[in-house]
Structure 1
Amino acid sequence: MRNFIIKFAQAIRQILSAPMLILFIFSKNKEVIILDVRQWIKKADNMKESSPDWVNLIYLLSIYPEFRNIYYYRIKQDDPIGFVLIQIFKILYKQCPSLFIESDNIGSGLFLKHGFSTIISAESIGENCSVSQQVTVGYNTKGRPIIGNNVSIGAGAKVIGKVTIDDNVKVGANAVVVKNVPKNCVVVGVPAYIVRRDGIKVKEQLI
């Protein structure tokens, strides 16, 4: 009985979220949104990978306020009409209030592990990146970070200033990154230093 009630509630939530597909229909970024959907389903609920993309889109919009932040970001990019429509939809379909996305360019597949108290203000972000809660990717007087492809930023981490985080980097929880990080590395600590490069355990300072 309990499972039935849960499934029924989920179905109602998805039905109520269906009008948000109107934004998708008029969007110029349909392909990127679909790639976002596939990445989220893979990481958040891979049991649904066999479902059609549009079904998974409604599912994600109904369950994850953080996904709505990304969805609205995609819809309004270079689209004045989309920007106006979003203001209307935001009244009924709330986004995560403590998640701020201000980057100029974000590649497909951005996954947010909880959006609580997270600021993403990068010059650019590559494809298939992952950002956890209470993360700050922010600017200083020198500029904003550039994030590569397949980068993972752990809970509470800070990436500040005009630094480059290259491809396939993992930033550990609560690390503070203020210098460039080369590709294929894991960094931890305050300030951050390299503990793994190309799969080999090391201990190297960032330059």
Structure 2
Amino acid sequence: MNKEFLGKIEAFLLMPIILLYYFLLPRHIVNLIISDIRVSEIKKVSFWSFAYNFSIHEDFRSTVYIRLGVRRIFVSWIKPGAKCFYNLTPHYGHSLFIQHGFATIIYAKSIGHHFFVNQQVTIGFGGDGNPTIGNNVSVRAGAKIIGNVTIGDDVIIGANAVVIKDVPSHSVVVGVPGRIIKKRNFMNESWKRVDIKL
């Protein structure tokens, strides 16, 4: 059977969540949830794309529960989010995308817009505090960002990289300890090779 059709059937079984989403949430929270909806399988954002993603993707359910805040206690028991995903971050911008989310801990001061995170990532407290993350940041599988560091805008933290110092905007970071291997010239959108230890 078509996945979209199955998602529509399950949507009717999830009426408490749908009622909360459709009628009881403040509009700004609904707008944040809409910004998180994946449109790769359903080409336009709609009520059914919310229902489909919520039914099929446990990591999307985790983003919905983040957006709901304490309201999640009324609905999260119906259908759980990603297993072993822990969020302690008080503020995210729009377009949050958790991919898989297994064994992932996110404890930042704040995270900006268009944040993408893979599985087995740790973003957390060091001896001097916890990270602040800018806009358009991607953190790949197994990466660690530890301590009172600032990650600029338009940054990619590569798989298994360990970041313990600030990262400037428009950078790609890899390795242990993390080092910048590429930096984008924002004016002409090109990338140049660099090697900067953090």
TM-score of the alignment, normalized to the shorter chain, above 0.5: yes
Q: What does residue 140 of structure 1 align with?
A: 126
Name whichever structure is richer in strand by fraction. Answer: 2
> Residue 195 of structure 2 aligns to which amino acid in structure 1?
K
For residues 85-106 of structure 1, give each alpha carbon's deviation from its aligned partner in whole angstroms, at most 9, with x where no partner exists: 5223222211223111110111
Find out whether 1:13 has 2:10 as its counterpart: yes
Q: How does 1:54-73 map onto structure 2 within 5 Å?
A: 54-73=47-66
* CA distance in structure 2 between the partners assigned to 1:7 and 1:61 by the alignment: 12
- SS of 1:90's equivalent in the other structure is coil
Aligned length: 189
- SS of 1:92's equivalent in the other structure is coil
**TM-score, normalisation: structure 2:** 0.89
Are the structure 2 counterparts of residues 105 and 62 from structure 1 closer, same or farther at C-alpha, using a change threshold of 3 Å? same
Contact kept? 1:17, 1:61, Cα under 8 Å: no
For residues 133-172 of structure 1, give each alpha carbon's deviation from its aligned partner in whole angstroms, at most 9, with x where no partner exists: 0000001221110011000001000000000110000000
Q: What does residue 26 of structure 1 align with?
A: 24
Q: How does 1:1-207 map onto structure 2 within 5 Å?
A: 4=1, 9-24=6-21, 25-28=23-26, 29-37=29-37, 40-41=38-39, 45=40, 47-50=41-44, 52-76=45-69, 83=70, 85-198=71-184, 199-206=191-198
* CA distance in structure 2 between the partners assigned to 1:182 and 1:59 by the alignment: 37
* CA distance in structure 2 between the partners assigned to 1:7 and 1:165 by the alignment: 37
Query: Could you list the runs of 5+ residues in structure 1 that have no partner in the other structure?
Result: 77-82
Are the structure 2 counterparts of residues 164 and 5 from structure 1 closer, same or farther at C-alpha, using a change threshold of 3 Å? closer
* CA distance in structure 1 between the partners assigned to 2:183 and 2:2 by the alignment: 49
* CA distance in structure 1 between the partners assigned to 2:196 and 2:159 by the alignment: 18
> Residue 109 of structure 1 aligns to which amino acid in structure 2?
S
- SS of 2:75's equivalent in the other structure is helix
Query: Could you list the runs of 5+ residues in structure 2 that have no partner in the other structure?
Result: 185-190
> Residue 202 of structure 1 aligns to which amino acid in structure 2?
V
Are the structure 2 counterparts of residues 192 and 54 from structure 1 closer, same or farther at C-alpha, using a change threshold of 3 Å? same
Q: CA deviation at 1:197?
A: 0.4
* CA distance in structure 2 between the partners assigned to 1:13 and 1:98 by the alignment: 24
> Residue 23 of structure 1 aligns to which amino acid in structure 2?
L
Are the structure 2 counterparts of residues 177 and 21 from structure 1 closer, same or farther at C-alpha, using a change threshold of 3 Å? same
Name whichever structure is richer in helix by fraction. Answer: 1
Percent identical: 38
Q: CA deviation at 1:53?
A: 2.2
